[in-house]
Amino acid sequence: MMNNPQQQQQRKCFVSIQGMSCSSCVDKIESKLRKTSGIISCQIGLITARAEIDFEPTIISSEKIIDILDDMGYDVSLISVIDSNQQTELCLDVMGITSENEVKTIQKSIKEMIGVSMVTVDRVTGRTTIVYYPNVIGPRKIADQIVQLGFTVHTINSFDPEKFTETLKKEVAKWRQSFFISLIFGIPTIIAMIYFMYILPWIEESHDTENFIVHQRCCVIPGLSLENLILFCLSTPVQIFGARYFYIQVK
C-alpha cells in the first residue's frame, strides 16, 4: 500500500510559549494558527506552556510559525522539529487504579506531557497504551510521571508473567512475615500493658499489704522496673522486624 504523499511531508514542531495567562490566550493562538496556510493541527497546553503544531514544510516552515507567535506578543522558542509519523507505542500495566476519576487523572497528566500524542487507559485491567515521539520524550519519563501520581507501573513490552508472579509472591510473603511478627509480639505487649496499667492497680487496692505491693513492683535493677523490661522485650522486635519495611519506604 502506498503512503499518502501529504502524510509523508507532514512534520511536527514543539514550541515553548511563555506569556499565556488564561484559556482565552490558548483559544486566540489556536484560532490564529488554524487559519494559517500549511498548519494542519495544533495543541496547546496552558499549564505546560508548550505547543504541538503539525504543519506541511512545503507550505510553511517552523521559523515562520515562530514569527507568527512572536508577532502575537508571546515569548516563543522552538524546542524541536520531527517527522509526524515518527511515533512509538508504549504499553504499561498500571496497578492501583480503582475509579474512573483516576483514569482521567492519568490520561490528563500524561497527555499534557510534551511529546505524547495519545493515551488510553483500561480501568479494569490497568492496561495503558501511550503513543509518543521518542525524539522528544522517553518511556522512563512517562512511567515516572505515572508513579508520581501514586500508582505502580510495569512495562508490558518486556513483561514476563512468570517473573511478575514470582515477584508478587515474594512481596506478599514479605508483608505476611512482617504482619505475623507484629501480631506475635504485639498481642502480648497489649496484654502486658493492660495488666500493669489496669489489673495490677486493682489487685493492689484489693490487697492492702505492703509486702504484696513491694513484691509486685520490684525492680530488676535500680531504675528498671519489671513492667518496662517486659514491654521493651516485646515491643523491640515489632519495631525492628515488624515495621522494618515501613521505615524503609519512608526513607
Sort strands 127-132 and 75-83 into parallel, antiparallel or unpaired: unpaired
pLDDT digits (tens, 9 = 90+) for 211-238: 544 445 567 777 778 888 888 888 888 8
Sequence ranges of the domains in the chain: 5-83, 88-159, 164-250
Q: Structure pTM?
A: 0.40
Task: Find the mean pLDDT for residues 102-108.
Answer: 89
pLDDT digits (tens, 9 = 90+) for 169-220: 777 787 888 888 888 988 998 898 888 888 877 876 776 555 544 445 567 7
CATH number belonging to domain 88-159: 3.30.70.100
pLDDT above 60 for 89:
yes
pLDDT digits (tens, 9 = 90+) for 138-168: 777 888 888 888 888 876 544 455 555 665 6
C-alpha–C-alpha distance, residues 96 and 79, integer Å: 34
Task: Find the mean pLDDT for residues 54-60.
Answer: 88
Confidence class of residue 2 from pLDDT cuts 50, 70 and 90?
Answer: very low
> Can you tell me which residue has the cell 510559525?
65
5-83 and 88-159: same fold? Answer: yes
Architecture of the domain made up of 5-83: 2-Layer Sandwich (3.30)
C-alpha–C-alpha distance, residues 146 and 93, integer Å: 11
The confidence score (pLDDT) of residue 93 equals 84
Using a pLDDT cut of 90, give the percent of the chain over it: 2
